[in-house]
Structure formats: structure tokens, C-alpha cells
Amino acid sequence: MSKPLIETKHLKKYFDTPRGLLHAVDDVNLTIPKGRTLGVVGESGCGKSTFGRVVLRLLEATSGEVLYDGENILTYSREQMFKMRQKMQIIFQDPYASLNPRMTVSEIIAEPIRVCKTITGNDAIMEKVDELMQIVGLADRFVNTYPHELDGGRRQRIGIARALALNPEFIVCDEPVSALDVSIQAQVLNLLMDLQEERGLTYMFVTHNLSVVKHISDEIAVMYLGQCVERCSSDELFENPLHPYTRALLSAIPEPSLEARNKKQEVIRGEVTSPVNPKPGCRFAARCPYAKPECMEKDLEFKEVSPGHFVACVLHG
């Protein structure tokens, strides 16, 4: 396996609330090798988007480390982070809310280039904008249009072009296709995969859509209430899910076949545990049909139960 480009060590992000500390990201340890894609999945509110933003330092971590090529960027100064942001970019979930409605397509794509001054001279900048528009499949006729004049797929292509403008090495894709039609989803996913192959990009792909994450990811990490409960290769996760929460997520994927009518679904019952001042123990235990007394006693260790397959569950390892 290639050297990790991104590595998190005991990464935590807590938010102050009137009722106490909300554990949005709690002791997450993950690695992403260069040129690979890590899918981060889980239900809404599990902390996956917050995790991606903490890795980029769009949100400051409460504690822990984020290593980029072996260096802890959480210790970087403002000036150091300004340079580092040229290597780390994000594609946002909402392709309309993330674009300035008062700027044209060319102005949006050119903005990071002008801010970071990677290219000088208006003609050279516009030449780069034209090149980026061709790469992401935006026709020249859209160069002076505004975001509200375009559909969701083209807006998201603008966001991708903007993310590529500074030639980054690492991109957090924060549910980049969840707001798009299925046919447009496929186009954007194929574009992201082609760009990764051509440029050697490293992705963290955040999504709640397991069908999408299987298509694009090399490894998948499953999060529940701020913690990573399972991580392994994409193929292994779908063939041999170990954590009860992972199995329930996979059983919820609709299958368009007659045989699937008799397939038993693992329904998650019970109330979601509050992420505010959570008690020790497995946070899924209150909803888990296999919960044991030891699940409630202490936080479970994230163990490697087979080569490359990690899980935090008393049923395994």
C-alpha cells in the first residue's frame, strides 16, 4: 500500500451546547493513502461532514492530530495554512449555496487563482479558466453566465473546477452528488474518477449513499455518532460486514430483483443515543439487537480482526 497522504490520530471535535459538550467527532483514527479514495458513510448527524471539515481545518479540532504527508497541520500558523490550502480543497454538498450568486462562472473559477496569486495576468488566468471548464465538461458559452441560470449538474461542475484551480493533491467531497438527479450523479462520479486517474488525486468521499460509495471508494469507514465503528476495503465491507450497524445499513439498500422480496431486513429500532455528554460504552448499544452488558461498561477498542478490517464491537475480536 502507498504511503498515507492524510492520517488522523485521536481526532476530536466537541461543540459547547447549553446541555453540555456535543461529541461530533470523537477519537477518530483513519489513514488515506496517496491516490486513493476513502469513503465515509453513516446516517445524517453522525459527524461525517464535520470530520471532513476538521481535517481541512475549516473547523478547528478540539484535540488530536491531522498529519498531511507526515506533518501535523493543526500546529500550522495562519501563513502556513494559507499555503497548505492550495493542496487541500473541498467540493460542497449544495452546488448552489456554495457558489456566489453575484459572480459569473469564470469569476468563480478564477477567484482562488487570484487570491493565491498562482497565476498573474488576466489573459493567463482566463486561459486557465477555459482549460478548467473543458476538463470538467462546461461549454464555453457558460463563461459569463450566473449560477442561477444553470442546472444542478453544471453548478456542481463549477464547484469541481474551482476545487481544481490550485492543482490540489487532496479533496474532501462532501456529499457532492446527493442533490443531483441519478443520471447526473453518474456523470459527476465518473468525472471525479477520471480526474483522480489523470492527476493522482486523493479523495475523502463523504456520503450516506452506500451504492455511490461502493462505486468510487477503495476503502470505507462507517461512522456512528462521531465514532468510527468499522473500516475496511470496499469489497470486504459489502461481502463481510461485521458491525451490526453496518449490516443494518447494507440491508436497507433496495435491490431491484424478485429474489430480494424474501431477503430479511435488519431494522434498527430504538432511540438514537444523545451525542451530548455520552456515557461510556458502545453508542449503538441502545439500538443493537446483539447488545451485551459489557457493551455499556466502557468504550470499545477499534480492533483489526482480520488483515485490513477494523471494527469496534464485542462480537468480534
CB-count exposure of residue 129 (10 Å: 0-12, 13-18, 19+): buried
69 vs 34: CA distance, rounded Å: 9
- Which residue in 308, 301, 305, 306 sits closest to 229, CA to CA? 301
| Model confidence pLDDT, tens digit, residues 4-23 | 999 999 999 999 999 999 99
pLDDT, residue 251, reads 84
Query: Does 317 have pLDDT greater than 80?
Result: no
Q: Mean per-residue pLDDT for 247-270?
A: 76
66 vs 217: CA distance, rounded Å: 21
pLDDT, residue 149, reads 95
| Model confidence pLDDT, tens digit, residues 23-77 | 999 999 999 999 999 999 998 889 999 999 999 999 999 999 999 999 999 999 9
| Model confidence pLDDT, tens digit, residues 116-173 | 999 999 999 999 999 999 999 999 999 999 999 998 889 999 999 999 999 999 999 9
Q: In degrees, to the nearest 5, what angle opens at C-alpha 277 toward C-alphas 274 and 283?
A: 50
Burial 294-304 (b: 16+ CB within 10 A, else e): ebeeeebebee
122 vs 144: CA distance, rounded Å: 15
Q: Are 122 and 190 in contact (CB under 8 A)?
A: no
Residue 151 to residues 61, 94, 103, 148, 229, Cα–Cα distance (Å): 35, 12, 16, 8, 37
Query: Does 262 have pLDDT greater than 80?
Result: no
Q: Mean per-residue pLDDT for 297-307?
A: 89
pTM: 0.91
State how far Cα 51 lies from the chain centre: 8
| Model confidence pLDDT, tens digit, residues 64-107 | 999 999 999 999 999 999 999 999 999 998 888 899 999 999 99
| Model confidence pLDDT, tens digit, residues 188-220 | 899 999 999 999 999 999 998 888 888 899 999
Query: Does 1 have pLDDT greater than 90?
Result: no
Q: What percent of the chain has pLDDT over 70?
A: 97
